[in-house]
Amino acid sequence: MHPLLEMRGITKTFPGVRALDNVNLTVREGEIHALVGENGAGKSTLMKVLSGVYPHGTYEGEILLDGAPVAFRSIRDSEARGIIIIHQELALVPLLSIAENIFLGNECARGGVISWRETWARTEALLAKVGLDEAPQTPVDRLGVGKQQLVEIAKALSKRVRLLILDEPTAALSEADSEKLLDLLLELRAQGVTSIIISHKLNEVRRVADRVTVLRDGATVATHDARAETLTEDMIVRDMVGRPMENRYPPREERRAGEVLMEVRNWRVAHPEHAERIVVRDVSLRLRAGEVVGIAGLMGAGRTELAMSLFGESWGRKLAGEALIEGRPADISRVDRAIAAGLAYVTEDRKELGLVLEEPITFNVTLANLAGVSRRGVLSRREEARVAERYREAMAIRTPGVHQKVVNLSGGNQQKVVLSKWLFADPRVLILDEPTRGIDVGAKYEIYTIINRLAAEGRGILMISSEMPELLGMCDRIYVMCEGAIVGELSADEASQERIMSLIVKHRRQAA
Amino acid sequence: MTSETATGAGAAAGGAVRAYLTGHLREYGLLIALVAIMVFFQILTDGTLLRPVNITNLFLQNSYIIIMALGMLIVIVGGNIDLSVGSVLGFVGALAAVMIVNWQMPVWMTVIACLLTGIVIGAAQGYWVAYWGIPSFIVTLAGMLVFRGASLWLLEGQSIGPFPMEFQRLSTGFVPDLLPWLGEALAALAGVRRVHGLTMALAALASAAILWLGLRARARDRAYGMELEPAAFFALRNAIVIGAILFLSWKLATFRGLPNVLVTMAVLTLIYAFITERTTLGRRIYALGGNRKAAALSGIPTERLTFLTFVNMGFLAALAGLIYAARLNVATPKAGFALELDVIAAVFIGGASMSGGVGRVVGAVVGAFIMGVMNNGMSIMGIGIDYQQMIKGLVLLAAVVFDVYNKRKQA
């Protein structure tokens, strides 16, 4: 197999930073090539060089396509040669239909007049190819993330793609949707489409990739044959972090649960716009002091909705249910009341819902507890800086200073700022929603350590995660949620991926 | 003159200073721009701009814009906009005229009623924006039409005036000299006919306070390892500010002293600067504009806060309406027409961002003065209103382009 793409000696510098340092990447015709590395290792930068986002001339090194050098000046140039990127943040227009999105900028038109018949026919063919059973006229915002991802791929196929680049395609997908997507990639490979997949999930890399290239600190560390029996995930992780990782989850000193901190009884919530849709069905759960309790489930199981409705009824309309904190009924009907009752909620989407990005660390850390840094409504800058400094040390937030804007921090450090914000509010119960999403391996370990420390301090942790190994590695107990209801509860000893999945499957079968 | 010194100092110093300068170009740029514009018009108007009588005029003419800019800054920082303030100003002026002139009501009662009316108007508009989520652009566009029409209806298309002296003093009155001995001493010393003692005493006090607060903040920044303004910049900036205060005060003192509105304006500016920068209330407004969802999930009552920003705007627009009517000594159906645009322009020239969460009170006030000096200077030069509007439009565009350019360069 001759190489489809060769990137030789790519060096890209930004003022003060060398983002890529002599990177080499060879992708063979017809293979699935995985690109892995920690956040900030240079994966996205490399793909931007490849696709012409950083035009030819702004980097050193050369790019060869089919053995001939190319000089892309824009994304248009690279797309014309069949190189198509699907970004982590999907680039679909929510209010347009699937068909309109697929042919956006590339309409089936004659003299500016769109032929809808042709558009829809071609869309149907493309949707069949990616296995999406939806009408071409369906607006994209009615589709879940998994299906939107498929629309993106259909869009790429419409442009006669030769090299498909997927940037963390499964980050926002449930296990089942991820499986589907990975199967699709294998199918496309069979049809001759070459792809590069950027991923943090090494099990997926092992499942689909033919070869894997590891980047670290802007340099190529190694390219492995991903099909080799001798290659282990630990070897890849070692390449990524530059040191061996014996354990992906920190050990807990001792697991000793105290008295019940929070109890939820028959919590029932309807969708905010469609009153007839019950999204959380009579959920009851208990959380003890010092416990880390997981909530497992697929995308759309209602986990985030449950968490947000518990936290000051921030989502949906609560129909029934009561919450007790330390044995007494608690008023958690507004966010400020929930905070006063001792609750904290670390959101799934830290950029959209957790941080004021253009403001410094000091601003963000104190936001949920301004009373703690003020007297009679007047802020003390001194106190604020002291608090931020304290959490910078306790959480090991890597930053030049606490007056740095959080937009300049890496994902892991941003997450530590969000955690600091909530710890400064001193909650008894923390609800963590996907606390390690989009964070690299090393920072994940740090977050886990912090979670364990918080539990050891006697707080209760309710942890939502779509990564089952993470729940299995961290939790004392796991509730399994499906279609808005809790369908099972497993202790740490009982729990396994198989048992969780079988609870979900069983529930679905009964429902059907 | 001063702007050359500033850039010269920046170029001469090392890389750290240059880095600091690029990071804070906006703040210095604004101050330098104001000074440069003043120097420019001072020369072009053959010294008329900085005559005592014109300086007094400058404050009187711009007081209502600055007062409204304080409220507008907060509305814009909160992520909204208020297009109705010009109409509200006109409506409140009309209401005052009807109450005082037609109904013979006492001035104090009218003032209170008018301010309450402003608060109610702000609440009525804020309600739809905050609790119904209707875009403020639309709600206040409606308000702009409604209150323009309402003032026409109140005045029945006529102009009503004049006002009694007591009401006019809101705007055109001067603070009595409580320190005549100081004035006499200074007059003798400088060899001029008379000097308003209180004005110079307050100017000296303000200068000392600015210097002291600046030094204290600097010490605090140093203690907490914040990025430090280079000493030369600190000195130069304060020299310009204090120099300007003393210079302008002297001019005022040798004329008629402190206009009442200047005092109102200065006190309000201080209060609002304090609220926005030093209180939890202010902090919450910045969080609201910076990321509304994150603020709500941090326990900040975003709806009530949005509502309050409009209530406050209504109050300030009403106050400005009273001052405006008192200054013109008549209420007309066209009063305040298109004034909202001057106010909004001042806030954006002052560095606020359309998307919310960014902007400072000091910036808005300096922005308003930049607009004011340009208006005044061009009027003195006899430039037609046609050119004036074109020039003001281009200055607004230039200021925002400068902002965006700066931001891109940093990114």
* Domain end position, chosen among A174, A209, A241: A241
Q: Is the pLDDT of residue B12 over 60?
A: no
Q: Is residue A87 part of a domain?
A: yes
Q: Is the pLDDT of residue A351 over 80?
A: yes
pLDDT tens profile A258-292: 899 999 999 999 988 888 888 999 999 999 999 99
Q: What is the mean pLDDT of residues A155-184?
A: 85
> ipTM score here?
0.85
pLDDT tens profile B352-400: 988 899 999 999 999 999 999 999 999 999 998 899 989 989 988 988 8
How many percent of chain A have pLDDT more than 90? 48
Instruction: Calculate how close chain B gets to A424, using CA atoms only, in Å.
Output: 12
CB contact under 8 Å between B297 and A335, yes or no, is yes
Q: Is residue A218 part of a domain?
A: yes
How many percent of chain B have pLDDT more than 70? 94
Asked if A182 and A79 sit in the same domain, the reply is yes
Q: Which of B224, B287, B297 sits opposite A353 (nearest CB)?
A: B297
- Lowest-confidence segment of A394-403, B10-19, B118-127, B237-246 by average pLDDT: B10-19
The range of the structural domain enclosing residue A493 comes to 260-342+427-511
Q: Which residues in A217-256 belong to E strands, given as ranges?
A: 219-225
pLDDT of B301: 94
Q: Is the pLDDT of residue B7 over 70?
A: no
pLDDT of A39: 65
**Residue A366 main-chain phi, psi, to 5 deg:** -95, 0
Secondary structure class of A258 (helix, strand, coil):
coil
User: Looking at beta carbons, which residues of chain B come within 8 Å of A382?
Assistant: 220, 223-224
Q: Is residue A122 part of a domain?
A: yes
Residue B16: band (very low, low, confident or very high) from pLDDT cuts 50, 70, 90: low
Question: What residue in A sits closest to B223 (Cα-Cα)?
Answer: A382
pLDDT of B14: 57
Instruction: Calculate how close chain B gets to A341, using CA atoms only, in Å.
Output: 12
Question: What residue in A sits closest to B358 (Cα-Cα)?
Answer: A358
Asked if A221 and A297 sit in the same domain, the reply is no
| Residue pair A454/A425 in contact by the 8 Å Cβ criterion | no
pLDDT tens profile A409-449: 888 889 999 999 999 999 999 999 999 887 777 788 889 99
Q: What is the mean pLDDT of residues A235-239?
A: 82
pLDDT tens profile B151-196: 999 999 899 989 999 999 888 889 888 888 888 888 888 888 888 9
Residue B13: band (very low, low, confident or very high) from pLDDT cuts 50, 70, 90: very low
- Lowest-confidence segment of A308-312, A350-354, B29-33 by average pLDDT: B29-33
- A32 closest CA partner among A216, A160, A184: A184
Residue A324 belongs to a domain with what CATH number?
A: 3.40.50.300
How many percent of chain A have pLDDT more than 70? 96
User: Looking at beta carbons, which residues of chain B come within 8 Å of A386?
Assistant: 224
- A170 closest CA partner among A160, A162, A180: A180
CB contact under 8 Å between A345 and B293, yes or no, is no
pLDDT tens profile A97-121: 999 999 988 888 888 888 899 999 9
| Residue pair A199/A168 in contact by the 8 Å Cβ criterion | yes
Asked if A189 and A295 sit in the same domain, the reply is no
Q: Is the pLDDT of residue B341 over 60?
A: yes
Asked if A144 and A67 sit in the same domain, the reply is yes
Secondary structure class of A102 (helix, strand, coil):
helix
Q: What is the mean pLDDT of residues A160-182?
A: 84
More confident call, A170 vs B274: B274
CB contact under 8 Å between B226 and A385, yes or no, is yes
Asked if A147 and A282 sit in the same domain, the reply is no
pLDDT of B188: 87
Q: Is residue A349 part of a domain?
A: no
pLDDT of B275: 95
pLDDT tens profile B182-233: 888 888 888 888 889 899 999 999 999 999 998 988 888 787 766 677 888 8
Please list the residues that pair with A26 across neighbouring strands.
Answer: A6
pLDDT of B225: 67
| Residue pair A510/A490 in contact by the 8 Å Cβ criterion | no
Q: What is the mean pLDDT of residues A308-319?
A: 92
User: Looking at beta carbons, which residues of chain B come within 8 Å of A359?
Assistant: 286-287, 290, 357
* Domain end position, chosen among A195, A211, A241: A241
Asked if A76 and A142 sit in the same domain, the reply is yes
pLDDT tens profile A62-81: 999 998 999 999 888 998 89
pLDDT of B5: 40
Q: Is residue A359 part of a domain?
A: no
Structural domains of chain A, count: 2
Q: Is the pLDDT of residue B316 over 90?
A: yes
In angstroms, the Cα distances linking B273 to A286, B74, B130, B323 are 48, 10, 24, 21
Instruction: Calculate how close chain B gets to A291, using CA atoms only, in Å.
Output: 24
Instruction: Calculate how close chain B gets to A363, using CA atoms only, in Å.
Output: 8
More confident call, A81 vs A238: A81
Q: Is residue A389 part of a domain?
A: no
Asked if A115 and A170 sit in the same domain, the reply is yes
| Residue pair A435/A443 in contact by the 8 Å Cβ criterion | no
User: Looking at beta carbons, which residues of chain A come within 8 Å of B220?
Assistant: 381-382
Asked if A180 and A318 sit in the same domain, the reply is no
Q: Is residue A395 part of a domain?
A: no
Asked if A98 and A152 sit in the same domain, the reply is yes
Q: What is the mean pLDDT of residues A245-269?
A: 82
CB contact under 8 Å between B294 and A354, yes or no, is yes
User: Looking at beta carbons, which residues of chain B come within 8 Å of A385?
Assistant: 224, 226
Asked if A38 and A92 sit in the same domain, the reply is yes
pLDDT tens profile A190-217: 988 999 999 877 888 888 999 999 988 8
Asked if A216 and A266 sit in the same domain, the reply is no
pLDDT tens profile B50-98: 888 899 889 888 999 999 999 999 999 999 999 999 999 999 999 999 9
* Domain end position, chosen among A206, A241, A276: A241
Asked if A227 and A281 sit in the same domain, the reply is no
Q: Which of B284, B290, B293 sits opposite A352 (nearest CB)?
A: B293
CB contact under 8 Å between B298 and A367, yes or no, is yes
In angstroms, the Cα distances linking A453 to A10, A206, A350, A382, A473 are 42, 33, 21, 28, 15
Q: Is the pLDDT of residue A122 over 90?
A: yes
